Structures are given as structure tokens and as C-alpha cells.
Amino acid sequence: MSKIKLPKSDRKRALILVDIQHGFIKRWDKSFEKNLRSLFAQETYDLYVEATFHAEKGSLWDKQTKWTFPYEPTAPWGLELLKGKKVVKVKKTTRSTFKGNIKLEALLKKNKIEEVHIVGFDTGSCVYATAQESFDKGFFTYVIEECTGSSDGLKMHKNAISVLRRLGLTNH
């Protein structure tokens, strides 16, 4: 497994896993899972946040975009990686993990977390929104590029990474 470049830091860190659900990752290549496994083998975090998304019939997603996504859990191999870790589960119906069913900002501050690393799907949507809000709430924030993807394909992923890099919100 190749080593993933991470910022050097002595801060307490959390890893937010955004929407690692089959409905989002099914069109992504196997490098995502391989890279995430590499990250878990390489690093230990003080806290792990497992975020899952759903958009039901009748939701704003359905009404405005004509799109729904029924609830599904994190992919089994993702749950395997989290086994034995200090994990907070967030269910959300919006892009940002900070707007889920848990008061994430307060929880991170209670655990003295100063730095947040973000992995998952979709780079230009939920990962992006979570990264922006994390930074705005005062956390050092890094999207781990090798561990993100877009269900809309590589072009959308690369465009989002380009914007996140410009904002200084990635590990590269």
C-alpha cells in the first residue's frame, strides 16, 4: 500500500467519513477502497465520524431536483475499518455533515479536536460542503484527495479537487 501524504500536525484530529455508501461508490474504481484502507493502516485518529446520507420521497431533494436516495448504511468494508474505533454516527439529509442529527461542532470541541480530515463522496457536494463548514467553524481542515470520489465521474471529482486546493483545503 502506498503512503498517503498528510499534513504534519500535533493537533487532536478527527476523520469524517462522508457517505461511503454503495449508491455513491458503485461507479468509482477500486482505488478508493484501497486508498482508504491505506489511510487506516497509516494513521490513527482521536475520533471518527461516520456520516450517511438519505433523501426520501417528498423531501426538498425530491421536490426541487427530482432525486431521491433511500437510506443505506456505510459499505461493509467501511464498517470493518471502523471496528474498535471511537465512532460517532451522523445521519443527514443535507450536504454538510455538520447539519446532521448530531451537533457535530459541539462534539468535536468537547473532544478537543482541532483538525479534521475528510474522506468520502461526493467531492463536489457533500465532501465540499463539509470541508467548507468545518473550516468556517474554526477547524484546520483537509480533504484527503486520494480518499474521495464523485459518483458523477472523474471530471466532476477533479473539478472539485481543483477548487478545494485553491482554498487550501486538501492534503496536497
CATH number at residue 80: 3.40.50.850
Q: Residues with Cβ < 8 Å from 29, sequence gap 6 or more?
A: none
For range 20-38, the mean pLDDT = 86
The answer to whether residue 157 is domain-embedded is yes
In a domain, residue 20? The reply is yes
DSSP label at 137? Answer: T
Q: How many domains does the chain have?
A: 1
Q: Establish if 74 belongs to a structural domain.
A: yes
**Residue 155 resides in a domain:** yes
List the domain range (segments joined by +) for residue 22.
Answer: 13-166
- Whether 4 maps to a domain, the answer reads no
Q: Is residue 83 part of a domain?
A: yes
What are the angstrom distances between the C-alpha of 152 and each of 29, 84, 92, 125? 12, 32, 20, 10
Query: Strand (E) positions, the chain?
Result: 13-18, 47-53, 87-92, 115-121, 140-149
Residue with cell 475520533: 47
Whether 104 is in a domain gets the answer yes
What is the three-class DSSP state of 113? coil
Assess whether pLDDT exceeds 60 at residue 1. no
Q: pLDDT digit string (tens) for 128-155?
A: 999 999 999 999 999 999 999 998 888 9
Total Cβ atoms within 10 A of residue 1: 11
For residue 8, being part of any structural domain is answered with no
DSSP 87: E
Kindly state the DSSP code that residue 52 receives in the 8-state scheme: E
Q: Is 130 helix (H, G, I), strand (E, B) or coil?
A: helix
The answer on pLDDT for 99 being more than 70 is yes
